[in-house]
Amino acid sequence: MATVAERQDLANNEVASQWKLMWWSFRRHRLAMVALGVVLLLYLMALFAEFLAPFNPHEANRRAIYHPPQAIKLIDTDEAGNWSIRPYVNAFKLERDPFTLQANYVPQEGEKIYLTFFGRGATYNLWGLFESDLHFLTTVDPTERFYWFGADRLGRDMVSRTIYGTRISMSIGLVGVTLSLIFGIILGGVSGYYGGYIDLVIQRIVEFVLSLPTIPIWLGLSAALPRDWSPMSRYFAITVILSLVGWTELARVVRGRFLSLRSEDYVTAARLDGASEGRVIFRHMLPSMFSHVIASVTLAIPLMILAETSLSFLGLGLQPPIISWGVLLKEAQNIRSIAQAPWLFVPGGFVVISVLSLNFLGDGLRDAADPYAQGRE
Amino acid sequence: MDQTATRIANASAIAAGEPVLEVKNLTTEFPMRTHTLKAVDNVSFTLRYGRTLCVVGESGSGKSVTARSILQIVDRPGRITEGEILFHQHLTSKGLEGAGTIDLAQLPPRSPAIRAIRGRDIAMIFQEPMSSLSPVHTIGSQIIEAIRLHDGAAKKEARERAIELLRSVEIPNPEHAIDRYPFEYSGGMRQRAMIAMALSCSPSVLIADEPTTALDVTTQAEILDLMRDLQEKFGMALMFITHDMGVVAEIADEVVVMRHGKLVERGSVEDIFHQPQHDYTKRLLGAVLELDEPSPKRLEMRARKPLGPPIVRLKGLEKKFFMSKGLFTKRQDPIVAVGGVDLTLYEGENLGIVGESGSGKTTLGRCIVRVHEPTGGEIHYRRANGKEVEVLTLGKSGLQDIRREMRMVFQDPFGSLNPRMTVQQIIGEPLVCNGETNARVIRDRVAELLEMVGLPTQTMERYPHAFSGGQRQRIGVARSIALDPRLIIADEATSALDVSLRTQVLDLLLDLQERLELSFIFISHDISVIRYFCDRIAVMYRGRVVETGDTLEVCDNPQHAYTKALLSAVPRPDPRRRKMHQRHRYHEPAA
């Protein structure tokens, strides 16, 4: 019988849950912590795109074609030398070269466009719920414009477009990965749990899919989409196409875990307890691989983002008027934009940042997923 | 060999009993998140030439950390904070002119000075012979490397010495064995190779950290025998770490008993076994000696209530494992794990199945509940209403009914409980799976079961990692009795536990047997556990039952040659009855 001392010990022992242990070891991973911050910021940006974007991203402006970026200055000094905190940008004036008719934007010294936080601008409908015209940073005079990241060939504000692009680009990763996760868990799970011929067949399918060159497959499948579909249905069709390839890696991870868990005594015990197969899989096996699955999902999202970007860049992914980073980068395809408007590459920077931070985050999660494996006694 | 001869000559020049390594007030600490853990706390002892010091203690007592501290190979972030480890180099056979006493505790862990001592003067053998040998190099190349690293011998000479060493650790045919890879060796052979490697530079001190724990008893007996012979031959000091009092009685000259990092008692093996001073030593010995005899409670229970009719009858039960046929590989011969076993278990009886690893005892247990599908034979099970069913012909629902009455307790207290479920969920799982939906009923039943296995009911919200091994095993037992079973198959249920916990768990099982009218099939490699717990014993060897009979009769008067060998290899916890040298050896008769 357990001694009294032992009982006392048990009653007083404070216990950290699995998630707490995971969080502890995750916190020690500096880079992953920073990446977590960046990823959260990006998703907040996607969530509140309408509020954060200064202008309507679809609004063209004939007088601002390839408008260069303007630096935002926070401290305003007047002629008398007094200063105050009041953000503004210097106005640019469009001038045409009389001979070549080339457009040139000339900064106008002293001509300032004042900006305001939480100003009023174009009205929007946030998540289809709230009607508002509040913007995080916009011009004091709603008819004025400022271009922090410059403007594109139709004079549309790149800041607003990039922010709106975040929404599609970051969510296509989530939706795509969710779909691949469903495929991956079901197929990988079946493969690992039953083994034998089923495993053989599924693994050969995985190898077959992995051996296909991805870009031509994507191209082929998305070229097969009917032209007359609405942009939204194209969006979903493309996530499905991406996840058709993306599930394979996840299926392998899940299969490996299932194979090793299948021989665990507690799984045998559950079978002897009379648990049905579904219960054994979902109640007993899946929870113990959850942390691993989360980690591999985090590593799969950037692949999806890149895939979407490359497809859209090639003109076979999303189509305007939908805004995604890939669609924006499509604008930067020609030599003219490199020469004339290098700021069109800004969305590319966002792709790099988001992919890097998701990768770091995934690495950190993967290391943290196994708090027991780190020699804790 | 010349080398060996010189070595022996040198060794004999030093009187046996001369101190070679003195550990004084050693303290090793591990800084933790909230506090500092003293893994070794103020421990002192002396290693002497030609003598064996056994460090004994239960898991977590700091035995291994002590050994690792001597060689400065403590896992980070642990470090030695106090004390001295005095190594008297001038007294060793390699004692160079001018070499004096070195305090190993002062040497930085990565310094060339300590590296020169490791392996050359002080060598170590680890518990797991597979993971301490490199799988991608031959045994020979690993020993040769060790020799050349420390002695700078020429390749050819080193090879000859390696062969000589393999011969001295009694590896058959050393000229060929030297070019084999570790996976071609059996567990015992690997441990011999490890010992050969440790001896390669004729160290003055050999530290063996549980070198026989992973081995079968017969192999363990061989290794212990070998180590004692080698010590006589080479005269080195041996520090032997173990948790097994039987092994201590067999080989120790001096004994150090450790608990929670502290030295509890130190003395000669005679004193420790026959006049223990400290309560803890007495308790430890008590637990071992208790296991040496049949449980009085069980004998009393049997006297009160005779056994019933047979509950399980196995007829020619057979299990072959077929190697999966790959695309390009030829079909291989199946492995016969269980080859035609006939056994009968009577109601209310405890049947012990004993055998070494690979004898098929675990497979047999799992075949009875059809975790593994048997490939032949019959299993007759008599249900509570007296009707007999053939388990192998049952369909899914019939099997589920039987599995409610036949339950299993697993060996590994860590692997057999789902780490993501609370104790309540784990114990309640069989109830839920068998149609109980009322949360209140389940809760009450779990509380009742916890009470039955001696755990506080407020622990049911905890996850298994909050419990010690013994407590986890109790949870496993609670799960197995949740459905009012009639038969429990316990597969090495006490093997992962410390000795003092084993009797506790066995007594718990006996207690439950009385209350719930259970029958047990108890699978173990440990004869003493079986003798304590089981009425009848079946000895398995290579998938067959070679002998069955009343436990005491078989233990006292074994008939089959294998049983004799097995029993004589079990170390007895009594230093006055050392008998390793007189043991039987079993050689399978040629078929």
Which residues of chain A have a CB within 8 Å of the CB of B75?
375
Q: Does B462 touch chain A (CB under 8 A)?
A: yes
Q: Does A7 touch chain B (CB under 8 A)?
A: yes
Residue A25's closest CA among A262, A302, A375? A375
Q: What is the mean pLDDT of residues A174-199?
A: 84
Question: Do A266 and B479 make contact, defined as CB atoms within 8 angstroms?
Answer: no
Distances in Å between the alpha carbon of A153 and those of A58, A96, A122, A344? 12, 16, 21, 10
Instruction: Write down how long chain B is.
Output: 591
Q: How confident is the model at residue A18 (pLDDT cuts 50, 70, 90)?
A: low
Strand pairing report for A83-96 and A73-77: antiparallel
Which residues of chain A have a CB within 8 Å of the CB of B418?
266, 270, 284, 287-288
| Alpha-carbon span A146 to A114, nearest angstrom | 9
Residue A53's closest CA among A127, A155, A146, A159? A159
pLDDT the model gives residue A374: 44
Q: How far is CA B568 from the centre of its chain?
A: 17
Question: Do A264 and B415 make contact, defined as CB atoms within 8 angstroms?
Answer: yes
Q: How confident is the model at residue A294 (pLDDT cuts 50, 70, 90)?
A: confident
Is the distance from CB of A285 to CB of A258 less than 8 angstroms?
yes
Buried b (16+ CB within 10 A) or exposed e, B61-84: bbbbbbbbbbbbebeeebebeebb
Which residues of chain B have a CB within 8 Å of the CB of A1?
454, 504, 507-508
pLDDT the model gives residue A375: 37
ipTM confidence score: 0.74
Among partner residues A17, A273, A372, which is closest to B433 by beta-carbon distance? A273
Question: Do A268 and B410 make contact, defined as CB atoms within 8 angstroms?
Answer: yes
Q: How confident is the model at residue A137 (pLDDT cuts 50, 70, 90)?
A: confident
Q: Does A201 touch chain B (CB under 8 A)?
A: no
Query: Is A33 exposed, middle or buried (CB count within 10 Å of its CB: 0-12, 13-18, 19+)?
Result: middle
Residue A176's closest CA among A4, A317, A291? A317
- Mean pLDDT across chain A: 78
Q: Does B488 touch chain A (CB under 8 A)?
A: no
Backbone angles phi, psi at A365, to 5 degrees: -65, -40
CA-nearest residue to B398 within chain A is A274
CA-nearest residue to B406 within chain A is A272
Q: Give the residue, B270 or A124, on which the prediction is more confident.
A: B270
Among partner residues A15, A196, A266, which is closest to B466 by beta-carbon distance? A15
Q: Does B63 touch chain A (CB under 8 A)?
A: no
Question: At residue A201, does pLDDT exceed 60?
Answer: yes
Tokens 């499509």, residue? A330
Which residues of chain A have a CB within 8 Å of the CB of B456?
7, 10-11
Q: How confident is the model at residue A198 (pLDDT cuts 50, 70, 90)?
A: confident
Nearest CA to CA, how far is A253 from chain B (Å)?
19
A317-330 confidence digits (pLDDT tens): 777 777 888 877 77
Q: How confident is the model at residue A51 (pLDDT cuts 50, 70, 90)?
A: confident
Which of A15, A268, A272 has the highest number of chain B CBs within 10 A, making it the mutation to test binding with B?
A: A272
Q: C-alpha dihedral over A231, A237, A243, A245, to 10 degrees?
A: -110
Strand pairing report for B262-268 and B254-259: antiparallel
B192-218 confidence digits (pLDDT tens): 888 888 888 778 889 988 888 777 888
Q: How confident is the model at residue A3 (pLDDT cuts 50, 70, 90)?
A: very low
Question: Do A272 and B408 make contact, defined as CB atoms within 8 angstroms?
Answer: yes
For residue B333, the one-letter residue type is D
CA-nearest residue to B76 within chain A is A375
CA-nearest residue to B410 within chain A is A265
CA-nearest residue to B77 within chain A is A375
Give me the residues of chain B with pLDDT under 70, please.
Answer: 1-16, 33, 91-99, 129-130, 323-332, 579-581, 588-591
Q: Does A10 touch chain B (CB under 8 A)?
A: yes
For residue B404, the tally of other CB atoms under 10 A from its CB is 18
pLDDT the model gives residue B523: 92
Long-range contacts at A214-217 (CB < 8 A, ≥ 24 apart): A214/A245, A214/A307, A215/A310, A215/A314, A217/A245
B489-513 confidence digits (pLDDT tens): 998 888 878 887 888 889 999 999 9
Backbone angles phi, psi at B573, to 5 degrees: -80, 55
Q: Which of A124-128, A369-373, B566-570 has the lowest mean pLDDT?
A: A369-373
Question: At residue A377, does pLDDT exceed 50?
Answer: no
pLDDT the model gives residue A46: 83
Buried b (16+ CB within 10 A) or exposed e, B343-380: bbbbbbbbbbbbbbebbbbbbbbbbbbbbbebbebebb
Which residues of chain A have a CB within 8 Å of the CB of B412?
265
A88-105 confidence digits (pLDDT tens): 777 777 778 788 777 777
Nearest CA to CA, how far is B160 from chain A (Å)?
40
pTM of the model: 0.74
**Omega into B77 within 30° of 0, i.e. cis?**
yes
Which residues of chain B have a CB within 8 Å of the CB of A197?
none
Q: Does A279 touch chain B (CB under 8 A)?
A: yes
| Alpha-carbon span B132 to B142, nearest angstrom | 11
Q: How confident is the model at residue A4 (pLDDT cuts 50, 70, 90)?
A: very low
State percent of chain A over pLDDT 70. 93
Question: Do A375 and B412 make contact, defined as CB atoms within 8 angstroms?
Answer: no
Nearest CA to CA, how far is B60 from chain A (Å)?
9
